[in-house]
């Protein structure tokens, strides 16, 4: 039977990546504590499954590499090899290597074998066994026998052979398939009827077989019962007595010669420890497995890509490639899918009801019922929408868990001692948001490791514990998720930042700024406090990129810092990128949407509070704060109804931790809108983050307030030093 | 139709085994570990159980030992999936009551042939 195994590849890749994650997580736990048996078992099983799968699906390179890893782990499991930091490092590097190999494989790219070969050599030296110790002694058995010959086989099964589930009859039938047979059954040991034990086998057989088969072919038939019978195989006077040892050798000869199978003398391990104590990790895995395979839902990450600017360049190649592999599917727990199916069921019922009503004669009663039906439909739709959104939600632990490794590796490199604390790992957020936030978070965490936490000596001198602490915390707040990256390091140096900002021309030496305002300067473009460019952070990517990435997700980032006590970065993000709470605003004939999360307040302008700067920019004195006014009609070149500022309304939005006012003709409804990507359907337009379709079918554009302010040419918001660019261009494409 | 229970913690292996055997005309059910398999085996009769060895919660050897102790599975073929390096596992499995073994990696044809040795 020819079968296409490629249909299982995707599942294999997914579970292998999952297995590698589990391996990595357990390995990282090991390095902190003393090795515990269950952890090692989990690591072993992951390697074992990957080996088994890759062998079966024909990924020889992965199979042969995992084989060495597995062999080593097996010895560790039996306590014959140690697992100290160097070995954990080696294993972690192997995990990385395997991950890259699998990624390459899943994307049909050629994989880089050199790393695997180098790592394999390292393992082999640890195993201090030459890798070429192939089982040559078994080769002779597999020799083909050439022409036909007569075989005499005596088969005397032990009485209890049936209790192994083996059936002598089938073996005889199998023999018959090899050639011509003559079978003589020996019933001598059959006792009297009343003494027969029905579970015993009393017969033995003598078989004459004329065939061109090899001895190994005959032995293979009896392979499973070698210990449960006496068997004698001879050929025309040439007799083999010592069948037992040869049969044992035979089973190892099944090993493909191509496989570098190093034979180790491994004593029978005691039965794997009873696994009553299941750690939480295993549980999660179990849950997930329950959810498959029926619940594989294809996510479409394209929908919201338009919202995202250029991603960070740090480690880009590696991480993006990984992401492509991840993004193809998500795993969803059964209950979420069940509730979805339930919703759809109700929707169908409602639809049927409305359909029936539409076919009947219209009178008052029908209209009333129709209205009820529509209300029901609205209810169904909303619930369905919520259920679908839930499917895209994943716990943030997917992102957090990556940092265990990152912090471990980078702190080792820097000679720092750092403990990573994860809080709120089960907080859920949209998968797309999660993918997009990962890079900025890597940057923030690296920053904390690199600049935040001091060296052990420095910490001791400051009277702090030698071990620094980085806390990642996530929680929900309203429709947002808040992620905090807290370190107990030296804190931001306001003086240094100030000096640097003055040097870089971000502020004037005379400007009076609060510490808070100074700290926010680190997010300004062209600002980097790193005095020396280190291997970790400061690769030319500044915090400004982090900020713009987060803003591209409609989020915000904030920093709080206390000298010598630490720094806290707070990232606020919408839970999803698919739907947005929007304020509909009107300019002339056109309706735009401003995301509600950006809006601070909306007000009517008192013209006496407006002053003009340099004949270009109007600013409003809003309770002592100067807010630049952006006329939406002007930016987008529309005809406005409002001839003067007091005729329209001003929507005050938060931009770059400063404020700006968007001047519109009118405020309309507030509603949830489904975001459609502009990039996917048209092209990226500065100042616009996407589009949506309104109830009446018209397309409305969603304003990206940060972009809009940029288009309007306003700079340095929030520094108290607002300037306007030479000429504010209106958006060409509109 | 002969009923087979396929036990493996790896979803891809399980699916591959199930798919192959279904194509060969068997009724196949799947379990992800020994505990689940034992539970399923107690609730319905299977003509053959095919189990991986390394699994969380309950490994294949323990599963075979437990199954063999059940009156319904006294003569039932119980096969294990082992790797080539698992020689000692085979004897351990036999001691626990396994009928035989299939060596990983295997291809669909080998799998069907092996099953055919004990299930007709």
- What chain A residue is nearest to B55 in terms of C-alpha separation? A45
Across the interface, which of B16, B56, B75 has its CB nearest the CB of A56? Answer: B16
Which of A394, A420, A449 is at the close of a domain? A394
Q: A211 near A180, Cβ under 8 Å?
A: yes
> Rounded distance, CA A134 to CA A262, Å?
6
Give B 49-78 residues with CB within 8 A of chain A: 52, 54-59, 61-62, 68, 74-78
Q: What is the mean pLDDT of residues A644-666?
A: 86
Question: What are the two backbone dihedrals, phi and then psi, of residue A510, each rounded to the nearest 5 degrees?
Answer: -90, -10
C-alpha A50 chain-centroid distance: 18
Same domain, A557 and A617: no
Tell me the pairing of strands A468-477 and A590-595: unpaired
Same domain, A518 and A546: yes
Same domain, A74 and A206: no
User: What is residue A265's three-state secondary structure?
Assistant: coil
Q: What is the ipTM of this complex?
A: 0.83
A174-192 CB burial, b ≥16 within 10 A, e <16? bbeebbebeeeeeeeeeee
Q: Find chain A residues with C-beta within 8 A of B56's C-beta.
A: 41-42, 45, 275, 278, 282, 285-286
Flag whether pLDDT at A295 surpasses 50: no
Whole-number pLDDT of residue B6: 93
In this complex, do B91 and A268 lie within 8 Å of one another by their Cβ atoms? yes
Same domain, A400 and A377: no
Q: Which tens digits make up the pLDDT trace of A191-215? A: 888 888 888 888 888 888 888 888 8
In this complex, do B98 and A164 lie within 8 Å of one another by their Cβ atoms? yes
Q: Does B37 touch chain A (CB under 8 A)?
A: no
In this complex, do B75 and A165 lie within 8 Å of one another by their Cβ atoms? yes
Rounded to a whole number, what is the largest CA-CA distance in chain A?
Answer: 121
Q: Does B35 touch chain A (CB under 8 A)?
A: no
Flag whether pLDDT at A591 surpasses 90: yes
Q: A393 near A428, Cβ under 8 Å?
A: yes
Q: Which of A16, A224, A260 to mutate to test the interface with B (most CBs of B within 10 A)?
A: A224
> Rounded distance, CA A74 to CA A88, Å?
14
pLDDT band at B40 (very low <50, low <70, confident <90, very high): very high
Q: Find chain B residues with C-beta within 8 A of A44's C-beta.
A: 54
pLDDT band at A306 (very low <50, low <70, confident <90, very high): very low
What is B3-118's CATH number? 3.40.50.2300
Choose the weakest-confidence range: A236-240, A257-261, A426-430, A675-679. Answer: A257-261
Whole-number pLDDT of residue B62: 92
Give A526 to chain B, closest Cα distance, Å: 49
Whole-number pLDDT of residue A543: 80
Distances (CA, A) of B10 to A223, A280, A446: 27, 19, 35
Same domain, A419 and A501: yes
Q: Does A264 touch chain B (CB under 8 A)?
A: yes
Long-range contacts of A632-635 (CB under 8 A, 24+ apart): A632/A585, A632/A587, A632/A592, A632/A662, A632/A663, A632/A664, A632/A703, A632/A708, A633/A587, A633/A588, A633/A663, A633/A665, A634/A728, A634/A730, A635/A687, A635/A708, A635/A711, A635/A712, A635/A728, A635/A730, A635/A731
Q: What is the mean pLDDT of residues A332-361?
A: 85
Q: Which tens digits make up the pLDDT trace of A128-172? A: 654 433 433 333 344 444 567 788 888 888 888 888 888 888 888
Whole-number pLDDT of residue A44: 86
Whole-number pLDDT of residue A235: 79
The range of the structural domain enclosing residue A640 comes to 579-724
Which of A196, A224, A253 is at the close of a domain? A253
Q: What is the mean pLDDT of residues A636-663?
A: 85
Same domain, A20 and A40: yes
Strand-pair partners of A612: A618
Helices (H), A360-430: 364-392, 397-414
Tokens 């078992």 locate to A41
Same domain, A521 and A508: yes
pLDDT band at A1 (very low <50, low <70, confident <90, very high): low
User: What is residue A205's three-state secondary structure?
Assistant: strand
Same domain, A532 and A427: yes
Q: Chain A to chain B, count of Cβ pairs less than 8 Å apart?
A: 150
DSSP string, A617-684: EEEEEETTEEEEEEEHHHHTT---S-SSGGGSEEEEEEETTEEEEEEESEEEEEEEEE-B-HHHHS--
Whole-number pLDDT of residue A26: 83
- C-alpha dihedral over A388, A392, A393, A399, to 10 degrees? 180
In this complex, do B88 and A227 lie within 8 Å of one another by their Cβ atoms? no
Whole-number pLDDT of residue A724: 63
Flag whether pLDDT at A322 surpasses 80: no
Same domain, A481 and A460: yes
Q: Find chain B residues with C-beta within 8 A of A162's C-beta.
A: 75
> Rounded distance, CA A272 to CA A717, Å?
64
In this complex, do B54 and A45 lie within 8 Å of one another by their Cβ atoms? yes
In this complex, do B104 and A162 lie within 8 Å of one another by their Cβ atoms? no
CATH of the domain at A100: 1.20.120.160
Q: Find chain A residues with C-beta within 8 A of B106's C-beta.
A: 56
Q: Does B43 touch chain A (CB under 8 A)?
A: no
DSSP symbol at A313: -
Same domain, A387 and A430: no
Whole-number pLDDT of residue A301: 38
Q: Which tens digits make up the pLDDT trace of A87-111? A: 888 888 889 889 888 888 888 887 7
Domain count across chain A: 5
The reply to whether A302 falls in a domain is no
Q: Find chain A residues with C-beta within 8 A of B24's C-beta.
A: 1
Which of A132, A160, A185 is at the close of a domain? A132
| Tokens matching residue A186 | 């020996």
Tokens 């989020």 locate to A555
> Rounded distance, CA A380 to CA A386, Å?
10
Omega prior to A384 cis, within 30 of 0: no
Provide the 10 A C-beta neighbour count for residue A137: 10
Whole-number pLDDT of residue A259: 40
Q: Find chain A residues with C-beta within 8 A of B58's C-beta.
A: 275
In this complex, do A1 and B24 lie within 8 Å of one another by their Cβ atoms? yes
DSSP symbol at A199: T
Q: B63 near B76, Cβ under 8 Å?
A: no
Q: What is the mean pLDDT of residues A174-183?
A: 85
Q: Interior CA angle at A615 toward A612 and A619, to 5°?
A: 25
pLDDT band at A718 (very low <50, low <70, confident <90, very high): low
- What chain A residue is nearest to B58 in terms of C-alpha separation? A275
> Rounded distance, CA B76 to CA A228, Å?
16
Give percent above pLDDT 70 in chain A: 78
Across the interface, which of B85, B88, B97 has its CB nearest the CB of A268? Answer: B88
Whole-number pLDDT of residue A279: 40
CATH of the domain at A676: 2.40.50.180
Q: Find chain B residues with C-beta within 8 A of A256's C-beta.
A: 84
> CA nearest A654: which of A595, A611, A729, A575?
A595
Whole-number pLDDT of residue A722: 64
Q: Interior CA angle at A330 toward A325 and A332, to 5°?
A: 160
Whole-number pLDDT of residue A650: 93
Average per-residue pLDDT in chain A? 76
Q: Which of B2, B6, B11, B81 to mutate to test the interface with A (most CBs of A within 10 A)?
A: B11
Q: What is the mean pLDDT of residues A648-664?
A: 86
Same domain, A408 and A501: yes
Q: Which tens digits make up the pLDDT trace of A433-481? A: 888 888 888 888 888 888 888 888 888 888 888 889 999 999 887 667 8
Tokens 């923030």 locate to A444
Q: Which tens digits make up the pLDDT trace of A386-418? A: 788 778 788 888 888 888 888 888 888 888 888
Same domain, A184 and A109: no
In this complex, do A285 and B56 lie within 8 Å of one another by their Cβ atoms? yes
CATH of the domain at A545: 3.30.565.10
In this complex, do B56 and A45 lie within 8 Å of one another by their Cβ atoms? yes
Q: Find chain A residues with C-beta within 8 A of B11's C-beta.
A: 11, 15, 289, 292-293
A586-620 CB burial, b ≥16 within 10 A, e <16? bbbebbbbbbebbbeebeebeeeebeeeeeebbbb
pLDDT band at A657 (very low <50, low <70, confident <90, very high): low
> CA nearest A453: which of A438, A439, A471, A441?
A471
Q: Find chain A residues with C-beta within 8 A of B74's C-beta.
A: 163, 199
| Tokens matching residue A383 | 């619930």
Q: Which tens digits make up the pLDDT trace of B64-107? A: 999 999 988 988 999 998 876 666 778 888 888 888 888 877 77
> Rounded distance, CA B50 to CA B53, Å?
10
Q: Find chain B residues with C-beta within 8 A of A247's C-beta.
A: none
Whole-number pLDDT of residue A161: 84
| Tokens matching residue A646 | 């007091």
- What chain A residue is nearest to B90 in terms of C-alpha separation? A224
Q: Which tens digits make up the pLDDT trace of B46-59? A: 999 999 988 888 98
Across the interface, which of B24, B32, B76 has its CB nearest the CB of A289? Answer: B32
Rounded to two decimals, what is the model's pTM? Answer: 0.52
Q: Find chain B residues with C-beta within 8 A of A57's C-beta.
A: 12, 16
DSSP symbol at A245: H
> Rounded distance, CA A153 to CA A213, Å?
13
Q: Find chain B residues with C-beta within 8 A of A67's C-beta.
A: 85
Q: Does A200 touch chain B (CB under 8 A)?
A: no
């Amino acid at each position: 039977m020819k079968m296409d195994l490629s249909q299982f590849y995707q599942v294999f890749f997914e579970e292998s990546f999952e297995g590698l994650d589990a391996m990595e997580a357990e390995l990282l736990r090991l390095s902190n504590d003393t090795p515990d048996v269950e952890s090692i078992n989990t690591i072993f099983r992951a390697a074992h499954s990957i080996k088994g799968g890759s062998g079966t699906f024909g990924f020889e390179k992965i199979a042969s590499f995992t084989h060495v890893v597995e062999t080593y782990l097996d010895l560790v499991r039996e306590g014959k090899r140690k697992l100290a930091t160097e070995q954990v490092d080696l294993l972690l590097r192997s995990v990385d290597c395997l991950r890259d190999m699998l990624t390459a494989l899943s994307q049909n790219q050629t994989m880089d074998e050199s790393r695997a070969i180098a790592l394999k050599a390292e393992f082999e030296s640890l195993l201090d066994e030459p890798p070429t110790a192939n089982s040559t002694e078994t080769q002779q058995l597999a020799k083909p026998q050439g022409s036909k010959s007569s075989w005499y086989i005596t088969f005397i099964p032990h009485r209890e052979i049936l209790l192994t589930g083996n059936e002598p009859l089938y073996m005889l039938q199998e023999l018959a398939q090899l050639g011509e047979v003559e079978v003589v059954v020996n019933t001598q040991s059959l006792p009297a009827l009343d003494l027969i034990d029905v579970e015993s086998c009393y017969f033995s057989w003598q078989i004459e077989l004329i065939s061109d088969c090899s001895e190994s072919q005959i032995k293979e038939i009896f392979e499973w019962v070698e210990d449960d019978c006496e068997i004698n195989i001879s050929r025309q006077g040439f007799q083999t007595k010592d069948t037992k040892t040869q049969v044992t050798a035979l089973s190892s000869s099944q090993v493909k010669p191509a496989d570098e199978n190093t034979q180790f003398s491994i004593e029978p391990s005691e039965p794997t420890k009873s696994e009553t104590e299941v750690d939480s990790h295993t549980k999660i895995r179990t849950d997930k497995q329950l959810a498959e395979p029926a619940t594989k839902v294809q996510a479409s990450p394209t929908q919201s890509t338009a919202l995202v600017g250029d991603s960070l360049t740090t480690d880009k190649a590696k991480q993006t490639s990984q992401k492509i592999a991840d993004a193809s599917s998500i795993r969803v727990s059964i209950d979420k899918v069940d509730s979805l199916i339930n919703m759809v069921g109700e929707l169908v019922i409602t639809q049927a009801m409305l359909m029936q009503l539409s076919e009947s004669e219209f009178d008052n009663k029908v209209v009333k019922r129709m209205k009820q039906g529509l209300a029901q439909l609205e209810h169904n739709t909303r619930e369905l929408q919520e259920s679908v959104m839930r499917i895209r939600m994943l716990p943030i632990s997917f992102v957090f868990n990556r940092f265990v490794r990152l912090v471990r590796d980078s702190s080792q490199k820097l000679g720092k001692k750092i403990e990573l604390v994860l809080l709120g790992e089960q907080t859920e957020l949209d998968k797309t948001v999660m993918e997009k936030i990962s890079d900025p978070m890597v940057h923030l965490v690296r920053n904390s490791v690199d600049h935040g936490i001091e060296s052990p000596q420095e910490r001791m001198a400051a009277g702090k514990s030698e071990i620094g602490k980085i806390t990642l915390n996530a929680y929900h707040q309203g429709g947002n998720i808040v992620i905090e990256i807290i370190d107990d390091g030296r804190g931001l140096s306001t003086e240094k930042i100030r000096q640097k900002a003055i040097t870089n021309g971000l502020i004037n030496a005379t400007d009076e700024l609060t510490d808070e305002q100074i700290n926010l300067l680190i997010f300004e473009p062209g600002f980097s406090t790193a005095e020396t460019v280190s291997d970790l952070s400061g690769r030319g990517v500044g915090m400004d990129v982090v900020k713009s990435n987060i803003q591209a997700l409609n989020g915000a980032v904030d920093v709080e810092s206390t000298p010598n006590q630490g720094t806290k970065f707070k990232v606020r993000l919408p839970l999803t990128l698919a739907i947005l709470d929007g304020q509909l605003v009107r300019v002339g004939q056109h309706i735009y949407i401003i995301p509600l999360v950006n809006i601070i307040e909306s007000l009517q302008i008192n013209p006496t509070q407006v002053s003009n700067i340099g004949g270009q920019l109007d600013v409003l004195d809003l309770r002592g704060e100067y807010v630049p006014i952006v006329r939406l009609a002007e930016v987008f070149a529309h005809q406005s109804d409002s001839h003067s500022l007091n005729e329209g309304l001003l929507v005050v939005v938060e931009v770059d931790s400063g404020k700006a006012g968007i001047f519109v003709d009118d405020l309309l409804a507030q509603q949830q809108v489904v975001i459609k990507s502009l990039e996917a359907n048209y092209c990226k337009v500065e100042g616009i983050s996407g589009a949506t379709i309104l109830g009446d079918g018209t397309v409305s554009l969603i304003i990206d307030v940060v972009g809009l302010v940029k288009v309007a040419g306003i700079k340095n918001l929030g520094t108290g030093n607002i300037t306007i660019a030479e000429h504010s261009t209106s958006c060409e494409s509109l | 139709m002969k009923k087979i229970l396929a036990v493996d913690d790896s979803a891809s292996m399980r699916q591959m085994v199930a798919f192959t055997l279904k194509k060969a005309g068997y009724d196949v059910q799947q379990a992800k570990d020994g505990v689940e398999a034992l539970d399923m085996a107690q609730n319905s009769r299977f003509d053959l159980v095919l189990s991986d060895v390394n699994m969380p919660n309950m490994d294949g050897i323990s599963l075979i030992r437990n199954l063999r102790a059940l009156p319904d599975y006294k003569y039932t073929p119980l096969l294990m999936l082992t790797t080539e390096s698992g020689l000692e596992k085979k004897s351990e499995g036999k001691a626990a009551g396994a009928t035989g073994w299939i060596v990983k990696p295997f291809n669909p044809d080998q799998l069907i042939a092996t099953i055919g040795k004990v299930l007709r």
